[in-house]
Copies of this chain bind each other. A is one copy, B any other.
């Protein structure tokens, strides 16, 4: 089992090799399903000039938002940002660059990156600022734009459980971008709530096969809720 045992015991080990100016792909949607401890480790490492690819950029003081505090992010590729004041400030001052990407195109770019598809056509964004400068081609009479895939030096992923081989399952809607991110990193690190033994997750229920995963770490999570809305029981 040694060769496939991907469990590491410290965040330092988990993110070893991350250096300035790298591209990091992060799973998560808002604050849901984010690799909290791995983000914290990136902050502690102090690396800068990062390009971060993630649907959102956290909030002030939580999630990817904490990487803004020491200006570690140079460029953000995301579909929706600005849930935090610091992001807005750095964007307006020109310290931070943003590449806004439609949410579905972003998900597909990550999947394509992991799947060896360098580019694909989509109708999403045609005729809008997103399509500017991109090749347009008609298929069956409808115009589509060419979008290139994304890969990262690192992918940071939050899963519910992983076995020692890196086989992962996600919990509820904390799945979101995590499975695609997991495929698209040169080094993919998964932070989980629970590590189990190989064989405990039935083969057909594995959502990210371990072949995509390089390191697994057991994290502890605050799981902050962005918008708690309830009804009376």
Contact = CB atoms under 8 A, between A and B. Distances in A.
Interface of A: 108, 112, 115-123, 137, 139-140, 142, 144, 148, 169-172, 175, 203-205, 207
A119 B118 contact: no
Contact of A121 (B117, B169, B171, B207): B117
Given A118-B142, A119-B144, 17 more contacts: A108-B117, A116-B123, A117-B121, A117-B122, A118-B121, A118-B140, A119-B120, A119-B121, A119-B139, A139-B148, A169-B204, A170-B204, A171-B204, A172-B204, A175-B204, A204-B207, A205-B205
Contacts of A140: 118
27 contacts: A108-B115, A112-B120, A116-B122, A116-B123, A117-B120, A117-B121, A117-B122, A118-B121, A118-B139, A118-B140, A118-B142, A118-B144, A119-B120, A119-B121, A119-B137, A119-B144, A120-B120, A120-B121, A139-B148, A169-B204, A170-B204, A171-B204, A172-B203, A172-B204, A175-B204, A204-B207, A205-B205
Contacts of A112: 120
Q: Point out which of A121, A172, A175, A207 has the most chain B C-beta atoms below 10 A from its C-beta.
A: A121
A33 B165 CA distance: 28
A111 to B, nearest CB: 10
**Chain A to chain B: the 3 pairs with minimum beta-carbon distance, closest first:** A118-B139, A120-B120, A119-B121
Contacts of A170: 204
Contacts of A142: 118
Nearest to A151: B140
Contacts of A139: 118-119, 148
Contacts of A137: 119
Nearest to A169: B204
